[in-house]
Amino acid sequence: MLKEGREIFQVRYIAIIVYITLLFGSIMLFQFQQSNTIVEDHGRLLPVKMKTVKSTDDEEEMKEIILDAARRDDSISIAGMQHSQGGQTLYPNGILLDMKSYNKILKLDEEKKLITVQSGVTWADIQSYINPYGLALKVSQSQNIFTVGGSLSVNVHGRDIQYTSLIESVESFRLLDAEGNIIHVSREENPELFHLVIGGYGLFGVILDVTLQLTDDELYQIQTKSLAYDKYSSYFTTDVLQNNAVKMHLARISVAPDNYLTEMYVTDYYKTDDQSHLTNYTTLKRESIIAIPKLFLGLSRINDWGKNMFWKTQEAYNQRIDGTFISRNNNVMRSESTFMEFDSASKTEVLQEYFVPVDQFTPYIDSLRETLQDEKDFSLLNITIRYVKKNDEAVLSYAKEDMFGLVMLINQGTSEKSIEETGEVIRKMIDVTLAHGGSYYLPYYNYPTEEQLEVAYPRAQEFFQMKEKYDPDKRFLNLFYEEYHK
């Protein structure tokens, strides 16, 4: 009886040991998986194994993350929505600092038209908050899903032709540096950092809270027009820039085979003389009629017929909105990402943006057409055009003079061969852009060469030298820095 009891005890003891071992192993495996996370940005071309992903809404905890990383000699990459596509938010075996939970709106000064927000706030959050006060953003992208910190880090631009680069509307911000210090940064206080951090891709520290200049909400009437590509520069210079009533502008040029890089349409936003009806248009809108254009965008990924139909759909939409009214960029800048969503195991969609001087637009398009005419496997889906006036405040400024920014949507494969083939075409396009005195935008995949970077951004080496000055231990790193800093 005693022997039988001992055997039962032994069996139970062994079972407990096995259970504890399995439980401990599961916990360790979970922790290992959590601390060795494969992370991708929006382009899905650069999967990176990060050491860990950390997120906090507390400033002191964030400071401790930085100091602990210094003690362990870990690198840190900073992320918002991760729509940059060139590894600007990633670094192998580094800490990913996810800022999305750091998202409070801190203060609104109606009289001075200033708002202070934490950097994880999205533009949609701000629009919802300021709209009842009759205030609007000065600068934002065409989509409002991005975080303020991420937008500052790439120095975005929008449709407004008065305030084009985001840096123009930034009053000040606080920066958490590599040593855990919090620095106040503005044009007057630590101005060198002001020009480095905005458009600095998270390489100088963590942007904490930001104070932005706002403007009054206004009522606009939309007017649209079709025209030939070689008339666009003169139209824009005469009918847009010299017309004080035009406040925002957008254009598209066809990539459909029937009128490849020849037909365009423009959308202009006129401030109306009678603002008394503004209140009828201030309700924040959601996108409508997404299904049909999304269907034809999908077909344009498949064949030339789809591309032709997608252009016709865009033209029809353009005609439909002609003469309609809309409130300022609280609604103009509310295009959401639903229309652009794309899910495929073997393909992805990447963006490129090229900036070309206004007076070079026609010869540039001619050169671009000639460059792309034999690239039958290169799937260019859409080109949107915005105006960006000269602004050299940011060290990595893309607007060396008054420019048109051509935002290109490209459908490509995710295989190594597809990446290489797409890269060859993109480098050719960049050469054409540089030959016409232009530049290109940096938040995208690292297809450009070091030489192309040097031509497009003459102050690039200064930027990297300042990185050594402010972060000699390279606490803040990403794949963009790894690729281009030599």
Task: Please provide the average confidence, as pLDDT, over all residues in the chain.
Answer: 88
Say if residue 30's pLDDT is above 70: no
pLDDT of residue 24: 44
pLDDT of residue 76: 98
pLDDT at site 141? 77
**Which SS3 state, helix, strand or coil, does residue 212 take?**
strand
Q: How confident is the model at residue 191 (pLDDT cuts 50, 70, 90)?
A: very high
CB atoms within 10 A of CB 273: 9
Q: Which of 438, 299, 274 is nearest to 367 (CA)?
A: 438
pLDDT at 9: 44
Task: Give the whole-angstrom CA distance, residue 192 versus residue 169.
Answer: 17
Burial 112-127 (b: 16+ CB within 10 A, else e): ebbbbbbbbbbbbbbb
The Cα 170–Cα 458 span in angstroms is 24
What are the distances in angstroms from CA 440 to CA 41, 57, 77?
A: 20, 34, 23
In which band, very low, low, confident or very high, does the pLDDT at 85 lie, cut at 50, 70 and 90?
A: confident
Task: Provide the pLDDT for residue 32.
Answer: 36
Residue 131 has pLDDT above 80, yes or no: yes
Mean pLDDT of 213-218: 93
22-27: average pLDDT = 43
Q: Single out the residue of 174, 165, 249, 237 nearest to residue 204, CA to CA.
A: 174
pLDDT tens-digit profile of 407-460? 999 999 999 999 999 999 999 999 999 999 999 999 999 999 999 999 999 999
pLDDT for 18: 41
Mean pLDDT calculated for residue range 10-23: 46
Say whether pLDDT at 287 is over 70: no
CA distance 461 to 453: 10
Is residue 28 over pLDDT 60?
no
The model's pLDDT over 167-186, given as tens digits with 9 standing for 90+, comes to 999 999 999 999 999 999 99
Q: Give the residue-averaged pLDDT of 313-330.
A: 84
Per-residue pLDDT, averaged over 18-32, amounts to 41
pLDDT surpasses 70 at 10: no
* 350 contacts 448 by C-beta, under 8 angstroms: no
Q: Residue 449: what pLDDT? A: 97
- With a CB cutoff of 8 Å and minimum separation 6, the contacts of 87 are 41, 46, 48, 446, 478, 479, 480, 482, 483
**Share of residues in the chain with pLDDT > 90 (%):** 70
Using the predicted structure, report yes or no on whether residue 2 has a pLDDT greater than 60: no
Amino acid at 140: S
* Percentage of residues in the chain having pLDDT higher than 70: 88
Confidence band of 399 (pLDDT split at 50, 70, 90): very high
Residue range 350-374: mean pLDDT, rounded: 97
Tell whether the model's pLDDT for residue 329 goes beyond 70.
no
Query: E strand or H helix at 243, and its extent?
Result: none
Q: How confident is the model at residue 300 (pLDDT cuts 50, 70, 90)?
A: confident
Asked if pLDDT for residue 210 goes beyond 70, the answer is yes
Lowest mean pLDDT among 104-108, 214-218, 427-431: 214-218
**Would you call 382 helix, strand, or coil by DSSP?**
strand
Total Cβ atoms within 10 A of residue 450 = 11
Tens digits of per-residue pLDDT, 408-419?
999 999 999 999
pTM of the model: 0.89
Lowest mean pLDDT among 45-59, 156-170, 243-257, 332-346: 332-346
pLDDT over 50 at 26, yes or no: no
